[in-house]
Amino acid sequence: MSNDTLTLAQTLISSPSLTPDDAGCQEILIQRLQQLGFAIEVMRFGDVTNLWARRGNTSPVLCFAGHTDVVPTGPIEQWDSEPFTPSIRNGRLYGRGAADMKTSLAAFITAIESFIAEHDKHNGSIALLITSDEEGIAVDGTVKVVETLKARNELIDYCIVGEPTCTDKLGDTIKNGRRGSLSGNLTIKGIQGHIAYPHLAKNPIHLMAPAVAELAQTEWDQGNEYFPPTTWHISNIKSGTGATNVIPGEVNLLFNFRFATASTVTSLKTKTHEILERHALDYDLQWTLSGKPFLTPKAELANAMTAAIKDVTTIDAQLSTSGGTSDGRFIADICTQVVEFGPCNATIHKLNENVEISDIEPLSKIYQLTIENLLINK
């Protein structure tokens, strides 16, 4: 078995691409892609470097999407090896980004190389959308590239996002959708006063309690075949002066909805305001939408990848929408079929992040067979 994917993954891990710094990773990819005849377009927005590369001018367009940026290492002294010096031990490749998601990036490239070597005159087009802004605030990365492509009516038929999706074994999980994320910054106002004279004050913490209880107990929806019910959770509460004898004048809550396609942004906002107003609260509420939910029903793309996984691993992959958000939420705006598939995710964002070496070349082969299933074997 070739070690091309492993070698490229090691090269990428060696570049300390802490978000939003690409640290030269995309140039490494570009050099390989230019040799394959890809048209290269580098899009820079702010401090973010994005790559749009395409080979072919016809449809269907199959896009591989991912990110070169990684999260901070945490305490380096607690790593067993330098996080940006790829290390192999006990059958695993260690380094920041090994699982999330430089191994997937390397597998994209070697899969495409192998495919083109066998099918130089393939149908359709192959594209890559790579950003250095996925692990950060994600405002100048994939979302901006998608806006650019949409403005010139350049759409995608199929998209594979290389996020680490597997839980126990390579091939066990494909993500065919993600929940949306809607956050609220809620301030409930009262009247500050001496705690010994409560009749002269209004305690906003006491006022908010019944409303919070109702919000926490509300059934926002029942979910559906692919998504669990929508959830509402408080992440932060801040109030008080620090003194024990002062009733605070306001209380601030940060909360978040992880919502399914069974709800909409409008329905969640409307119901929240109804509850707050029913409890006669004096409040201010600011909303932030991080991403809408997206869902790819089992169709050509999911079927092509499921078949490829079965051929390589003998595993029957399961479709899942669990987990957090990904850049798939942006790509779904110009692509009706988006799935995520990559290596096991047990160590992502952790100290000593790693992937099993025995999974690396099979991952590339799965991507290659998926291309064949979509562009050759239709």
Tell me which residues are annotated as active site. 69, 134
Q: Are 312 and 369 in contact (CB under 8 A)?
A: yes
For residue 217 the two structure tokens come to: 């107990």
Residue at token pair 């999980």: 173
Q: d(Cα 243, Cα 334) in Å, to the nearest integer?
A: 53
Cβ neighbours for 293, distance < 8 A, ≥ 6 positions apart: 177, 178, 179, 180, 227, 259, 260, 261, 329
Q: Examine residue 86 and say whether the peptide bond preceding it is cis (omega within 30 degrees of 0).
A: no
Cα–Cα distance measured from residue 258 to residue 265, given in angstroms and rounded to the nearest whole number: 11
* Distance from the first to the final alpha carbon of the chain: 28
For residue 154, give both structure tokens.
């350049």
Q: How many beta carbons lie within 10 A of that of residue 300, not counting itself? A: 15
Q: How many CA atoms lie within 13 A of 124 on its CB side?
A: 19
Instruction: Kindly give, in sequence order, each residue whose CB lies less than 8 Å from that of residue 24, ignoring residues fewer than 6 positions away.
Output: 15, 17
